[in-house]
């Protein structure tokens, strides 16, 4: 199974465990793209609708796609009271282009899963001549030092690996600026950072870890033992802790192309 499709197995936990996106980020994207109520936007990889909901409250007409049937079902439930959201079960690669052009395409924690050969080419074709692309994601940036050391020891013991979390792709040192530039299809990238804190309990952190793609790819036994030991470490720490987080946003306008 492709790593990006593992999320569909745990759609309920994903919806309950994953954080929403800063309202300031949504406001900045809407302002950057010069959107007005009723403008059409496309969301790539909507998951259970965390970002979709915030953009839907701005009265935009949203087509939100995701390849997971359970993800789409969960999103349909959470977004049922919005009449301006159309949910489609498909990958970005396979999705037909009959809804174009869009004023904005957004991808929340999902752009890195899309085929490198196609993502920017197709996005540019789907956007209006003055349309924008905005990709963003959460990145953990700080743990209490005691827990960090214990998590490192536990993870190495169970998996033999320790390194940056998957979300580190979204840091400025990651590939996003380069990807935009290399495509040649978008203008200069505007980057913004939104720091925040996330307070966890033992159960909430274990639930969140259980939705991470790298954890989902472990065998069930390895995953259970790892999460049990992580939970014990948090319990010894008092059963709760606070993490530093940053949400990183990358925006660019479509370069001039023949329609």
CATH number, position 129: 3.40.50.150
CB 240 within 8 A of CB 199: yes
Per-residue pLDDT of the chain (259 residues; tens, 9 = 90+): 444 444 444 545 554 567 889 999 999 999 999 999 999 999 999 998 999 999 999 999 999 999 989 889 989 999 999 999 999 999 999 998 777 799 999 999 999 889 999 999 999 999 999 999 999 999 999 999 999 999 999 999 999 988 888 788 899 999 998 999 999 999 999 999 999 999 999 999 998 888 887 888 889 999 999 999 999 999 999 999 999 999 999 999 999 754 4
Q: Give bridge partners of residue 65 from the DSSP assignment.
A: 44, 88
Tell me how many domains the chain contains: 1
Parallel, antiparallel or unpaired: strands 190-201 and 240-253: antiparallel
Whole-model pTM: value is: 0.88
Exposure string for 57-86, b = 16+ CB within 10 A, e = fewer? ebebbbbbbbbbebbbebbeeebeebebbe
46 within some domain? yes
Distance CA 17, CA 109 (A): 14
Q: Give bridge partners of residue 152 from the DSSP assignment.
A: none
Q: Which two tokens stand for residue 14?
A: 């994903």
Q: Give bridge partners of residue 151 from the DSSP assignment.
A: none
124 within some domain? yes
Q: For residue 256, what is the DSSP state? A: P
89 within some domain? yes
Half-sphere exposure of 74 (CA within 13 A, CB side): 21
* Preceding omega of 75 cis (within 30 degrees of 0): no
54 within some domain? yes
Coil, strand, or helix at residue 170?
Answer: helix
258 within some domain? no
19 within some domain? yes
42 within some domain? yes
CB 121 within 8 A of CB 143: no
225 within some domain? no
Q: Which domain holds residue 45?
A: 3-141+165-197+245-253
CB 129 within 8 A of CB 256: yes
């Amino acid at each position: 199974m492709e790593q990006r499709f593992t999320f569909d197995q745990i759609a309920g936990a994903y919806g309950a465990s994953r954080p929403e996106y800063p309202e300031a980020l949504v406001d900045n994207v809407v302002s950057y793209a010069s959107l007005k109520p009723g403008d059409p936007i496309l969301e790539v990889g909507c998951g259970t609708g965390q970002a979709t909901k915030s953009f839907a409250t701005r009265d935009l007409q949203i087509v939100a796609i995701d390849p997971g049937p359970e993800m789409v079902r969960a999103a349909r439930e959470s977004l049922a009271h919005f009449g301006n959201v159309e949910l489609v079960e498909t990958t970005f690669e396979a999705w037909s282009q009959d809804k174009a052009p869009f004023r904005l395409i957004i991808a929340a924690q999902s752009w890195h899963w899309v085929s490198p050969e196609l993502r920017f080419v197709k996005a540019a074709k789907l956007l209006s001549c003055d349309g924008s692309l905005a990709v963003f994601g959460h990145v953990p940036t700080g743990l209490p030092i005691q827990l960090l050391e214990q998590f490192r020891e536990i993870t190495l013991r169970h998996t033999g690996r320790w390194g940056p979390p998957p979300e580190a792709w979204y840091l400025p040192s990651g590939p996003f600026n380069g990807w935009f530039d290399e495509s040649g299809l978008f203008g200069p990238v505007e980057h913004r950072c939104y720091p925040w804190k996330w307070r966890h309990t033992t159960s909430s952190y274990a639930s969140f870890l259980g939705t991470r793609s790298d954890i989902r790819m472990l065998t069930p036994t390895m995953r259970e033992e790892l999460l049990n030991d992580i939970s014990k470490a948090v319990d010894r720490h008092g059963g709760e802790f606070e993490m530093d987080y940053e949400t990183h946003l990358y925006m660019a306008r479509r370069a001039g192309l023949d329609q």
